[in-house]
Amino acid sequence: MRHAFNDIRPSLWRAFRLLLAVACLAALLSCVKSGPLFGSKAAAPVERETAAQKPAGGETAVEAPEAGSTEGAEIAEEDADAVAALSVGENCLYRDGAVRRLTLRPVREPLSIPACDMFFPLSNVEGAQNMARLDIRSQGLDTWRALEGPVQRSLEYALNMPANEPALARPGMSLTWGQVVRSLEEFLDLLPHLDADPDLLAQRFVWYGMRQKPLMTGYYTPEIEASLTRRPGYEYPIYGVPEDLRYGPVRGRYRFYRVDKGRVLSYYRRGDVDLRKVLSGRGLEIAWAKDPVDVFYMQVEGCGRLRLPDGTTRNVLYGAKNGHGFRSLGRILHAKGLLPDGHLAKEDVKRYFDKHPERMFELMAENRSYVFFRLEDSPPEGTIGKPLTPMVSLATDRKLLPLGSLLAFEAEIPEARDGRPAGKRKVSGIGLAQDTGTAIQGPHVDYYIGEGNAVAPIASNIKTEATVYLLISKEALING
């Protein structure tokens, strides 16, 4: 009898497996009729959803992994496992849809989180507390989705960098460009869900505090009166990039220079340009300005908008610089006892030169730095080669806060009324390191406020201690 049972046991097992397969098929057909259908490993690659396609509300979703990818292995090895693992009501893939959604993978905590002399990681609780203080409305944003364009521009820059090379290298801590890219990509994926569930940013990112709180200053795109041709009242040249200005390694350092009779020399200083007129007559003038002080401060900002005599405007963007060190004009006048401390802004400097025009070029020449421009129709750009976003873009020291990186910050900035500063207000939100500046060294960030002279009283009077966090995706830290 025992031997007889052994003879029929394989047949019974095959019958049982057949019945089980039929039952699974029936359940799957029922699911198809009701709408949702789970995809297989061989599904075609899916592009990132556009803002218009992404679902609103509090559901948390990410794009499906590409065909053959091992990313998202937590979801399933096989379709049947995926069906068994996901409960009814969770996000599915839809056959009719243009939108493909999967539940976000569970948050994985890095086994170790690096720290260094300049950065320390916050705990999850501290990250959540800081997240609760962010208010993107203080940046003039109505929704987190408004950050999609600026973040995409940072991502395009970071994608052009070598993925395995360091974006940040400090003793004890190194971040690659690949990790910067992954952090920006994950932030883009979260944007449609942060209005309903902002805590996701605290849950899925490591918040790195700066051991030394940085100084925050402000900058903007000034508008000055100018003409594209020289005419009475428009006598001061705005120069394009000279053909003999070079940039490259000189004695182990990259610098701007010129070559004269085989000798490598530093490029001309401001005094050479303004007082000795060494560039005059070379056809380098791209426009002519009414006020030399306006051009000086446009060089400080690195870009500007020209208001032409017929009322139209043209943008001038940064072209190059002479490579000499920068000194604040207000500080130059203060050091000579010509302006009191606390009254060193552009308006104070202009009032002094209105009374003492004969000293203008002599004193400006003590700032040896000089910036050359190019005429453009495009909006102001940062060092990343992409348009700046008011109240979001920051100029940073790239050795400390890598270009393109995602930041959270909090600071008090001036308000303006009738063209003058009027009180303070708190701004706390998301920033992007998209620009650099000669004077931006070490723990110092420069906040881009916007275009036009209406924002000048705000930008010119920002000088405050800020709280800044570098945000890095936990998945980026785990996967390297």
Q: Is the pLDDT of residue 102 over 70?
A: no
Per-residue pLDDT for 423 more than 60?
yes
- What mean pLDDT is predicted for residues 101-105? 54
pLDDT of 420:
76
Q: Would you list the domain boundaries of the chain?
A: 1-31, 35-106, 110-326+367-480
Helix boundaries (H) for 195-268: 200-204
The pTM of the full predicted model, rounded to 2 decimals, is 0.74
pLDDT for the residue 385: 94
Residue 422 has a pLDDT of 82
Looking at residue 212, what is its pLDDT? 96
Kindly tell me if the per-residue pLDDT of 3 is higher than 90. Answer: no
| Three-state secondary structure call for residue 270 | helix
- Residue 446: both structure tokens together: 């420069």
Average pLDDT estimate for 155-181? 96
Of residues 198, 251, 255, 242, the one with CA closest to residue 60: 198
- Percent of residues in the chain assigned helix, strand, coil, to nearest 5: 30, 30, 40
Amino acid at 197: D
Percent of the chain with pLDDT over 90: 70
- Alpha-carbon span 363 to 274, nearest angstrom: 11
Task: List, for residues 365-407, the tens digit of each pLDDT value.
Answer: 999 999 999 999 899 999 999 999 999 999 999 999 999 999 9
| Alpha-carbon span 293 to 364, nearest angstrom | 8
* CB contact at 8 A, 454 and 161: no
**Does residue 235 contact residue 227 with C-beta atoms inside 8 Å?**
no
43-52, 63-72, 132-141: least confident range: 43-52
In the predicted model, is pLDDT for residue 11 greater than 50? Answer: yes
Q: Which of 67-81, 140-154, 336-350 has the lowest mean pLDDT?
A: 67-81
Predicted confidence at residue 76, as pLDDT, reads: 32
**What is the Cα–Cα distance from 182 to 151, expressed in whole angstroms?**
12
In this prediction, residue 416 carries a pLDDT of: 84
For residue 203, give every residue at least 6 positions away whose Cβ sits within 8 Å of its Cβ, in sequence order, or none.
Answer: 107, 124, 128
Q: In this predicted model, what pLDDT tens digit does every residue of 300-353 receive, in sequence order?
A: 999 999 999 999 999 999 999 999 999 999 999 999 999 999 888 888 999 999
DSSP structure string for 62-122: EPPPPTT--TTTTT-SSHHHHHHHSPTTS--BBTT-S-B-EEPPPP---S-----SSEEEP
Neighbours of 156 (CB within 10 A): 14
Segment 263-306, tens digit of pLDDT: 999 999 999 999 999 999 999 999 999 999 999 999 999 999 99
Q: Is the pLDDT of residue 51 over 90?
A: no
Instruction: Give 118-181 as a 3 state SS string.
Output: CEEECCHHHHHHHHHHCEHHHHCCCCHHHHHHHHHHHHHHHHCCCCCCEEEEECCEEEEHHHHH
CA atoms of 76 and 90, how far apart (whole Å) = 15
Judged against a pLDDT cut of 90, whether residue 22 lies above it is answered with no
Residue percentage of the chain with pLDDT more than 70: 78
110-326+367-480: CATH class: mainly beta
| pLDDT confidence tier of residue 419, bands split at 50, 70 and 90 | confident
pLDDT, tens digit, 9 for 90 and up, residues 435-465: 998 889 999 999 999 999 999 999 989 999 9
On whether the CB atoms of residues 299 and 364 are closer than 8 A, the answer is no
